[in-house]
Amino acid sequence: AQSVTQPDIHITVSEGASLELRCNYSYGATPYLFWYVQSPGQGLQLLLKYFSGDTLVQGIKGFEAEFKRSQSSFNLRKPSVHWSDAAEYFCAVLSGGYNKLIFGAGTRLAVHP
């Protein structure tokens, strides 16, 4: 069955530092992959998605992610983190005939001033 693993439950970075959040997927074919962000008390917002083509995907809020088939990874990056980026981040893979999103457990990001 398709699944995603986010190895880091919590990450703390300083404001202005670079960020990389890890995501590993399990999928037989070319996966459709997503990153979502959830601010406290809010729903999930789509940051970016990968279907095919260029393996470096640009998203909103200055985020990007790189698909690496050899490593079964889809890591999220940002060159310089802002305090407003503190939130929970979810990686997801499309499953069930391209109708169901399966989410990872999430990574909670804290940003120190």
Partner 1 sequence: DAGVIQSPRHEVTEMGQEVTLRCKPISGHDYLFWYRQTMMRGLELLIYFNNNVPIDDSGMPEDRFSAKMPNASFSTLKIQPSEPRDSAVYFCASSSGTAQYGYTFGSGTRLTVV
Give the shortest CB-11-to-partner 1 separation in angstroms: 17
- Complex with partner 1: residue 67 or 90, whichever CB lies closer: 90
CA trace torsion 70, 75, 79, 84 (10° rounding): 180
What does the alpha-carbon distance between residue 90 and residue 44 come to, in Å, rounded to a whole number? 9
Q: Smaller CB distance to partner 1: residue 53 or 98?
A: 98
The least distance separating partner 1 from the CB of residue 95, rounded to whole angstroms, comes to 9
Residues at the site binding partner 1, with contacts judged by CB under 8 A: 32, 34, 36, 41-46, 49, 51, 90, 94, 96-106
What CA–CA distance (Å, rounded) separates 61 from 57? 13
